[in-house]
Structure 1
Amino acid sequence: MASSYVQDRPAASPVDRLATSPVSSPSTSMPRPNALSNKLTSVLSASYADREIRDALQTLDERGIENTPETRRLLRLDVQKEVIQCNGEIINEFGQIAEEMKEAVSAAHQETAPMLEEATSLLERKQEVETKQLLLEAFNKHFTVSGEDLLVLTSSAEPVNDEFFVVLARVKRIHRDCQVLLGSENQRLGVEIMEQSSRDLNAAFQRLYRWTQREFKTLNLENPQISSAIRRALRVLAERPSLFQSCLDYFAEAREHILSDSFHTALTGVSSTGDHSSAKPIEIFAHDPLRYLGDMLAWTHSATVSEKEALEVLFISDGDAIAKGIQAGIVSEPWSRFGDEETEVFDGRKALDGLVNRDLAGVARTLKQRVEQVIQSHEESTLAYQIANLINFYRVTFNKLLGSESSLLATLTELEESALRQFRATLKDRVLAVQNDPPPAPADLKHPEFLLEALEQLKTLMKTFDTSLTPASSREEVFKPVLEAALDPYLQVCETLARDLDKPAGTILKLNIIHVSREALAPFPFTAEKVTELDDTIEELEAKLIIHQHSFFLHTSGLHPLLAALAPLSSPTSPENLSLIPTLPPFQPASLTQTSQTLDDFLPSALMDAMENLKNLLDSEAARAVTDEAAGRFCEDFEFVERKVGEVGEMLAERNGGEGGGLRALFPRTSAEIRVLLS
């Protein structure tokens, strides 16, 4: 059939032949491709030996299709129609099968529905049971504590280690989370769990409290740091302020006993238990009172520093954790507040200073007894002041170390005041002895012996005070009472001695006393106010000596009567007063001649005689300055008299026609000559 189909094919049309024949182009020798030629090429290149073509031709053979143009044109449509019909038949057949299967499934569903419903119910119940099981396991895991953990938490046979604190933290979390249960429908369960966790927590805190007390008994603060377990225990105990405070009280009592025994051993060389120390006992080797007190205070300071450094680990490094724990404890135990304030914040530095202060309470009591014995057994004012200054040094040091509220600082303040009272009492007794039986004034007008002793004592006091830690801004004010007690009473006694002497001896004695006192005070800056006061007194006394020397020049030279006669004249330069001057007795020729002669006799040794008046003044420069000032005033007085004598001579010369210059002849000395002789 295939061969006939090929043979029956009509002959190619002219168009087909044209399409298959080569066409030559006038411009090129290559054929020009087009759709028809491509199609022909594709058909001609097909191989009839191909399996698909053979199958297609065989199918056409089996159908008995004639090879006509109409058949070839409708071949594709016929094939598609057959395919559609076949598909439709298949669909109909599958529809019948689906209907039968539907009826079978419906029947099976009706038979299995009860079992499915029961299975679904069982699955839902299983899921609920599994959910409850998971919730129960989670609940037990979160809200229950195993027997082993409770044993770790409450048994005294178990160590207090990291496991203990882990279990404790878990129980605290359970106790805290019970509030969720109390807010739900399971309030009874929440109350039961909270009660159980509270009992467990109380037992754990009591155990931790007892363990901490046992550890404090064997704690060695001289060795490095406090163990981390104790530090952690204190942080946890801070959540129970009452237990925390009891631990601190217990620790303070233990440390007070240890430090008191150590101090007793340092003093005597024998401990309270009878053990002997290899160190040199302070009481045996410190014979000097100051060294004895200094060694005791130095030991106390060293012990305080060591104690504070050892305990800083407790309150400074973990201060925030302890503060938070105490705040939490105050919320849960409002009755356990440390003070009366409603909101009290834990201060680690303050707590540290307070604990160190309590640890040193026994040492402070022993120190107070020993220092008071030394103060009362010595009645030297200088020693008492040195003791007070030594205590003041350590008081300032302890103020920086422990704060102003320290009881040890209060003890040192009390001891310092006691030493100052002893100083003032012994000083007062000595002053009273001098005041009740004052020695006579020295014949050479030098400073009395008791004043030199007082100044030597004052120098020692000033040197002692100069080494103190008193701030520079307040040194003068602080030392002022000492000056008033150690110097002023002696100066008052000297004032009494000088008051009984004639002039200028009393003034010279005062000047000598003030000068030597000033020299003693001048090297120390904190006596500047007193030195200024003494300088003012020196100026006043030197002014008195200038007046005395000036009077000596006037009376010894004979010039005083002339000045005294001119003094009543209200205006010596007026013609009326000038005319009265020749009538005055001192200006009579005989008297004026005698005055001139006295002046001539005085001038050669005037300075030497004047300096002789001040020979007992220890400050030779002051004596020279006073005499020079008095001589200068004398020269001014002489110039005044000289000028009046000249004016009277000129007036008489005018009245007598050129005669009358006799006064000037009787008083020939000039002011220039006087200045030369007195220079």
Structure 2
Amino acid sequence: MAGTQSYVDDLSGTLDERLIISSTPQRSNALSNKFSGVLSASYADSEIRDALHSLDENEIKNTAETRRRLRLNVQKQVIQRNGAVVQEYGHVAEQLKRIGAIINSLTACCEVMRQHVTAARHENAPVLEEASSLLVQKQELETKKQLLDAFNKHFIMSEEDLLVLTGATEAVDDTFFGVLMRVKQIYVDCQVLLGTENQRLGLELMDQSSRNLNIGYQKLYRWIQKEFKTLNLESPQISSIIRRALRALAERPTLFQSCLDLFAETREHILTDAFYSALTGSSSGDNQNPVTKAIEFYAHEPLRYVGDMLAWTHSAAVSEREALESLFISDGDEISKGFKAGRQAEPWSAGDDEAFDGRKALGELVNRNLAGVARALRQRIEQVLQNHEDAVLLYKIANLVIFYRVTFIKLLGPDSSMLETLSSLVQSALRQFQTVVSDNASAIQAEIAAPTPDLRIPAFLDEALAQFTTLLKTYDSSLTAASSSVADFKSIISQALNPFLATCEKMAKETNEPSAGIFMTNCLIAAKTTLSAYDFVQDRVSELNEQLASLTSSLVEYQHAFFLHTSGLHPLLAALAPTEDTPGSLLNISTLPPFQLQPLTDAGQTLDDFLPSALMDAMENLKRLGNTKLSQEITADAAERFCEDFEFVEGKLTAADELREIALREGGEENEKEEQELVPLRSLFPRTSGEIRVLLS
């Protein structure tokens, strides 16, 4: 390639020289075009590169001779190479002829073999068809065998499993529940078979599964009954097998309820026996219990006796609920699902669509377990109520039972029979309380006597108020809601207080005023003092205040009358009552009898004698009033009214004197003598209202 390139470079230099030399305008166009074509040719062209490469391979030297013979040399080489190719193709043609002969031989051989194969095929066709049919039959039989094995494995119970499910001697354990679940699944899956053309198999399997299930549930039912009879609830938790058995038995609501009935009956006997054992220290088998003391031996006081029995009952209910809580609360959803499925298995119970409520069922079961205890408790407490006639004790027992009733509402719910028992006991206690109080009041009313000379509250009222104070304290410490306190205690007031106050009113009628008013005031003040400390009886306190206000007003009237009559002012005030403020009526005052010289002078003297000891004498009238402050207030009110009356009389007399003087002055000289002889009314009755107020303050 380097030689060729140098040859091209030399050729280009020669051409350039020739172009420079022959730059005359007479050169031929053909030569110019040739040179232009050579010069314009691109040596990057692939054909030119291949040509140059061929020149380089032939190692052609760049000489003048070579350049002249280049074409001939190239053509010679082409002819030689073509001859070589033709020679090689000759060998190929010979090989192809040999291959063609072989192919013809093979074709003939294949034709012979084809004829043999066709003949063999005709001979073996029946055998092949029979073999194919047998293979298909074999495959179908294998498929049927697999289906039968799968069917038997799923739908057919083994003898061992049936023995576990139905055998009376076999234990109820995890294996039993596994077999039971499998039978239930078979029963459900048999419904798929009912959708096929041949329903007989499905019906037979469902019937067989149903029988097996019923036998299994009956076995489970008997096992649970047996376990319930020996079940110890004192253990921390009921065993998981029992809980699982109850969840499974819930799919048969009738059997489940029957088991609960048996369990409730068993627990009722156990708890009743335990209650009697706690009371007496011995059980039904006369076995002494050295651990605890008998309630009847150390609870000598009736209230403590009742409280200990209620406390034991509450403790037993709490223990029973805690022991059974895992039975219905932790597995409540599973039991509810079982009940729902069981309604389909027991069509006669399908009308009860109420969902299973674990907490409600727990409360009902505990309530039924305590039924015997409730009967014994009611009998014992009613004996206590009948054998005691202390009203305070009866009321305390009633409030104690009310406390436990509220407690049992939270524990067992509002529909518990235990609550009915406690409510009945509350009514019995309150009824006995009312009877005792009524008998006491009737006995007192049958022996009504006049008040004592000192007008103190009678002994029966003092006892009644002491008793009522205890009732107030008991009620105030009870669980009665504040909103209903007033209404609830009104009946107690009407039974334990009002009859005694009514008896005091009848006693007051046996004496005169002011003794009657003072006696009733003392009684009402004592009652008010007892009630004032408690908010829930403020309505009754208001009623007592109204009665006291009426009695106080009567005592003020009495004291006022005492002031008027003792001071001698009453005749003057009575005479001036119809007098009007007209001049004529005022001038007629001097003509009235009480205002004549001697009567008026005597009235003034009586007033002077009365005033120094007026307050002391008035207070002496109320000395038997227990409240000194109230007696002072009554006397002060009466004195104030007396002062107002005196101011009225003083004003009338002063106005009359002024009118008389004016009339005499206007009469002229003939009246001067009469004026000199005129004696003013105020000179005969000289006391002023200021002096009266000072003396009576």
Q: Report matched runs for 1:272-351 at 5 Å.
A: 272-278=284-290, 279-336=292-349, 342-351=352-361
Alpha-carbon contact 2:456-2:522 (below 8 Å) kept: yes
**Residue 547 of structure 1, aligned match among 534, 539, 557:** 557
Distance 1:573 1:78 in 2: 183
Larger displacement relative to structure 2 (163-172 or 268-277): 268-277
Alpha-carbon contact 1:353-1:402 (below 8 Å) kept: yes
Change (3 A) 1:424 1:77: farther
Distance 2:408 2:586 in 1: 83
Instruction: Say whether residues 1:424 and 2:437 are aligned partners.
Output: no
Distance 1:361 1:397 in 2: 17
Aligned to 1:678: 696
Distance 1:148 1:638 in 2: 122
Distance 1:421 1:651 in 2: 77
Distance 2:368 2:603 in 1: 91
Change (3 A) 1:20 1:103: farther
Shift of 1:439: 3.4
**Residue 177 of structure 1, aligned match among 168, 173, 189:** 189
Aligned to 1:144: 156
1:471 is matched by which residue type in structure 2? A
Shift of 1:236: 0.7
Aligned to 1:520: 530
- 1:297-323 deviations in Å (ceiling 9; x for gaps): 111111111001111111111112112
Distance 1:229 1:364 in 2: 31
Alpha-carbon contact 2:450-2:510 (below 8 Å) kept: no
Distance 2:285 2:484 in 1: 48
**Residue 213 of structure 1, aligned match among 209, 225, 249:** 225
Alpha-carbon contact 2:395-2:430 (below 8 Å) kept: yes
Distance 1:39 1:210 in 2: 114
Overall identity of the aligned pairs, in %: 55
Shift of 1:516: 0.4
Change (3 A) 1:481 1:43: farther
Aligned to 2:380: 370
Change (3 A) 1:75 1:585: farther
Distance 1:194 1:601 in 2: 123
Larger displacement relative to structure 2 (366-375 or 198-207): 366-375
- Secondary structure of the equivalent of 1:21? helix
Shift of 1:178: 1.1
Aligned to 2:657: 649
Distance 1:455 1:593 in 2: 54
TM-score by length of 1: 0.88
Instruction: Say whether residues 1:21 and 2:4 are aligned partners.
Output: no
Shift of 1:286: 1.3
Q: What is the aligned-residue RMSD (CA, Å)? A: 3.0
Change (3 A) 1:323 1:661: farther
1:500 is matched by which residue type in structure 2? E
Distance 1:46 1:530 in 2: 149
Alpha-carbon contact 1:304-1:360 (below 8 Å) kept: yes
Distance 1:183 1:150 in 2: 27
Change (3 A) 1:101 1:551: farther
Shift of 1:440: 2.9
Instruction: Say whether residues 1:666 and 2:671 are aligned partners.
Output: no
Instruction: Say whether residues 1:381 and 2:391 are aligned partners.
Output: yes
Alpha-carbon contact 2:343-2:349 (below 8 Å) kept: yes
Change (3 A) 1:583 1:16: closer
Change (3 A) 1:116 1:75: farther
Alpha-carbon contact 1:614-1:623 (below 8 Å) kept: yes
1:244 is matched by which residue type in structure 2? F
Shift of 1:281: 0.9
Change (3 A) 1:598 1:92: same
Distance 1:234 1:501 in 2: 80
Instruction: Say whether residues 1:509 and 2:519 are aligned partners.
Output: yes
Distance 1:164 1:255 in 2: 27
> How many residues get paired?
639
Instruction: Say whether residues 1:239 and 2:251 are aligned partners.
Output: yes
2:631 is matched by which residue type in structure 1? A
**Residue 175 of structure 2, aligned match among 163, 170, 178:** 163
Aligned to 1:636: 644
Alpha-carbon contact 1:237-1:244 (below 8 Å) kept: yes
Shift of 1:363: 1.3
Change (3 A) 1:426 1:114: same
Alpha-carbon contact 2:4-2:56 (below 8 Å) kept: no
Shift of 1:38: 5.5
Distance 1:554 1:541 in 2: 20
Alpha-carbon contact 1:653-1:661 (below 8 Å) kept: no
Change (3 A) 1:74 1:470: farther
Alpha-carbon contact 1:631-1:678 (below 8 Å) kept: yes
Change (3 A) 1:268 1:382: same
Q: Report matched runs for 1:557-568 at 5 Å.
A: 557-568=567-578
Aligned to 1:10: none
Structure (1 or 2) with the larger CA radius of gyration: 2
Larger displacement relative to structure 2 (646-655 or 163-172): 646-655
- Secondary structure of the equivalent of 1:656? helix
TM-score by length of 2: 0.86
Distance 2:147 2:622 in 1: 116
Alpha-carbon contact 1:20-1:40 (below 8 Å) kept: no
Change (3 A) 1:46 1:366: farther
Change (3 A) 1:250 1:45: farther
Shift of 1:17: 7.9
Distance 1:250 1:611 in 2: 82
**Residue 133 of structure 1, aligned match among 138, 145, 152:** 145
Q: Which runs of 5+ in 2 are unaligned?
A: 14-42, 60-74, 667-674
1:472 is matched by which residue type in structure 2? A
Aligned to 1:227: 239
Q: Report matched runs for 1:581-660 at 5 Å.
A: 581-657=589-665, 659=675
Shift of 1:382: 2.1
